[in-house]
Chain A
Amino acid sequence: MNCRSEVLEVSVEGRQIEEAMLAVLHTVLLHRSTGKFHYKKEGTYSIGTVGTQDVDCDFIDFTYARVSSEELDRALRKAVGEFKDALRNSGSDGIGQISLEFYQKKKSRWPFSDECIPWEVWTIKVNVVNLVSEQERQICREKVGEKLCEKLINIVEVMNRHEYLPKMPTQSEVDNVFDTSLKDVQPYLYKISYQITDSLGSSVTTTMRRLIKDTLAL
């Protein structure tokens, strides 16, 4: 099975990085999260309810809907914050990319550790621009808002192709497919990593992994 890969590109001002990334990541995760599974004795399961809430951006003329889960929001904000700091500290060039990868765990026999097999990767390439005047910033607010609208439409289009999704797991397998650590929603297993390109053009791989389950320790 091949991993599906989608790439989005945005040009934003420094202070817009976080909101733009959160808007895209939350939209993807909205589509890739379900309610909590409650398995019953007969092997069937019921699914909890996913709530949504609107988020207004402060630096972009844009509003997006995200899953109502503070834990999920915190996790994404942490990852995006680290990405933003790395991007800002890398120098004036300001090019980087952040990736959201959905994967499945495949249990291997001892002594081999479990494999993480990605099935969908969303990559957002970010180009940070520096603006001088307030008027330019104002125009940037609107333009980035429009661009994000286009990106969201692209995301929705991909989501509705109904391509590969992992099969719904049995109770014993659920942790190989879903992140069950959150208390109110259940996204597919995911990890976020980023790369910053320095001014020389070479890829200085500063990779941060956010591991849901401590797979390497098994």
Chain B
Amino acid sequence: MDTDLSSQDRKDLDKFIKFFALKTVQVIVQARLGEKICTRSSSSPTGSDWFNLAIKDIPEVTHEAKKALAGQLPAVGRSMCVEISLKTSEGDSMELEIWCLEMNEKCDKEIKVSYTVYNRLSLLLKSLLAITRVTPAYRLSRKQGHEYVILYRIYFGEVQLSGLGEGFQTVRVGTVGTPLGTITLSCAYRINLAFMSTRTTGEDNGATYPSVEDSQEVCTTSFSTSPPSQLSSSRLSYQPAALGVGSADMGYPVIFAGGLNAAHPHQLIVPGKEGGIPPVLSQPAHGTQADHERMAMCTPLDGALYSAATPSSSEDTETVSNSSEGKSGSPHDLLETIFVRKVGAFVNKPINQVTMASLDIPFAMFAPKNVELEDNDPMVNPPDSPDVESPLQGSLHSEGSSGSSTGNTHDDFVMVDFKPAFSKDDILPMDLGTFYREFQNPPQLSSLSIDIGAQSMAEDLDSLPEKLAVHEKNVREFDAFVETLQ
């Protein structure tokens, strides 16, 4: 009842609640930026640090919070909520957490507003600082970058928890009693990160698709920071989704559920971080959102993980090619990136060197292409090339075939012709750029290459008896040498 509260106290309380709400939003959003937060303690009070805590105010966030509040304060039935969601580079999104600042009717009339309530709100903010680092979304947010970003959305009114999937957990940060009601701060967070491709139909997360089961079978990693754990945690893929063990249990398989955010989430991106998204995310990008940003997909951790994902991805590439009329570039990109992973770079390089090196001229592979060499040229008659190479070769050629590599259609580098400054074509059409590319990596061992290897192997075997005879003659020298070593 307001009559029990003096007008000054009432004003103070309203101000405290308002700034508490704004600071709460700042703490939550800043904790999901993906960076470590650091603010300085100051012994002399500046007067502008609410609740005696150094919490920076990001203007955009304050603006959004004020817009959501629209001059109101959290009250019974009117809660302030901060929704944290994840959005992948392909346009899939999923709600991760809902932070709720609620007010209930339980009043504490005796409490002193200007002192006790203020200090308890300060304590609650400290608790929030601690808890925001503890929920599963924190580790996800620290690794956001190219593969996914973390978004926030502030809304005021009824709390909507349906987007969190089944079996979400709740953690209560704390409560503060006031004469107007009890303020409660809590977080509901998703624990079921199963990926459901709802993008085509735009249905709720509750719908399941066949691809869900496939992807659950091939679930590979959890978001642990250190790479070795990603191999050992494949065992986590068979844990039940609803983990009732602990309130902060992070042992869940991380395969994404595609949810669509109805509103427009806001995004604070901190660029330049590598994410830990498993390759299973190379699912068809039927984004209903017009998201044409095709960010590079991550590389698989090892061959085993990638091959596990192959069954679903092959199915996916079919659907991609069938349905992505609107995105002409994307299936090609998909194939291209898959190809890059399947065949290691420079795989054909030794073959190049072998056939041309037999000519015994330096940089022979870049020599003018002679007709008689064509038969030996593995580029013309590629040995055992997988079928999927051909479309890729097409794309590679279009980019890299100009310039110095005259007959060398199977360029190792997918890049535009490298023309270094001050270089000019000499008698041999070998310029600095080609030289650089050629010798950027150490050459393959000749014994590992096919033809020359075979030839020299035969020669080696023939010469072996002679060599042995010579060595046997020099046995004494060898023995003396060995003795000097001892």
A-B contact count (CB 8 A): 153
Instruction: Choose, from B127-135, B255-263, B348-356, B440-448, the stretch at the interface.
Output: B127-135
Residue ranges of A at the interface with B (Cβ–Cβ < 8 Å): 27, 30-31, 34-36, 38, 46-56, 61, 63-65, 67-69, 134-135, 138-139, 141-142, 145-146, 149-150, 152-153, 155-157, 159-160, 162, 168, 183-185
Any chain A CB within 8 A of the CB of B67? no
Please tell me if the beta carbons of A38 and B45 are within 8 angstroms of each other in the complex: yes
Residue ranges of B at the interface with A (Cβ–Cβ < 8 Å): 36-46, 49, 52-54, 115, 120, 123-124, 126-127, 129-131, 133-135, 138-139, 142, 171-176, 224-226, 228-229, 232-233, 246-251
Please tell me if the beta carbons of A183 and B130 are within 8 angstroms of each other in the complex: no
Q: How far is the CA of A155 from the CA of B173 in the complex (A)?
A: 10
Please tell me if the beta carbons of A27 and B130 are within 8 angstroms of each other in the complex: yes
With both beta carbons as reference points, the residue of chain B lying nearest to A184 in the complex is identified as B41
B37 contacts across to A, CB distance below 8 A = 52-54, 65
Please tell me if the beta carbons of A34 and B52 are within 8 angstroms of each other in the complex: yes
Contact partner of A159 among B44, B53, B127, B142, CB < 8 A? B127
Please tell me if the beta carbons of A52 and B129 are within 8 angstroms of each other in the complex: yes
Q: How far is the CB of A52 from chain B (nearest CB, A)?
A: 6
14 interchain pairs, CB-CB under 8 A: A31-B123, A35-B43, A52-B37, A52-B53, A53-B38, A54-B37, A141-B224, A141-B229, A146-B249, A152-B131, A153-B171, A156-B131, A157-B172, A159-B174
Which secondary structure characterizes the binding site on chain A? mixed
Q: How far is the CA of A188 from the CA of B241 in the complex (A)?
A: 43
Please tell me if the beta carbons of B250 and A146 are within 8 angstroms of each other in the complex: yes
A64 contacts across to B, CB distance below 8 A = 130, 133
Contact partner of A68 among B39, B52, B175, B248, CB < 8 A? B39
Q: How far is the CA of A69 from the CA of B126 in the complex (A)?
A: 15
Q: How far is the CA of A7 from the CA of B44 in the complex (A)?
A: 35
Q: How far is the CA of A52 from the CA of B247 in the complex (A)?
A: 25
Please tell me if the beta carbons of A68 and B38 are within 8 angstroms of each other in the complex: yes
Please tell me if the beta carbons of B36 and A63 are within 8 angstroms of each other in the complex: yes
Please tell me if the beta carbons of A146 and B246 are within 8 angstroms of each other in the complex: yes
Please tell me if the beta carbons of B142 and A63 are within 8 angstroms of each other in the complex: yes
Contact partner of A61 among B36, B115, B130, B139, CB < 8 A? B139
Please tell me if the beta carbons of B127 and A160 are within 8 angstroms of each other in the complex: yes
B127 contacts across to A, CB distance below 8 A = 31, 156, 159-160
Please tell me if the beta carbons of A160 and B41 are within 8 angstroms of each other in the complex: no
Q: Tell whether A152 pairs with B134 under 8 Å between CB atoms, given A61-B226, A142-B229.
A: yes
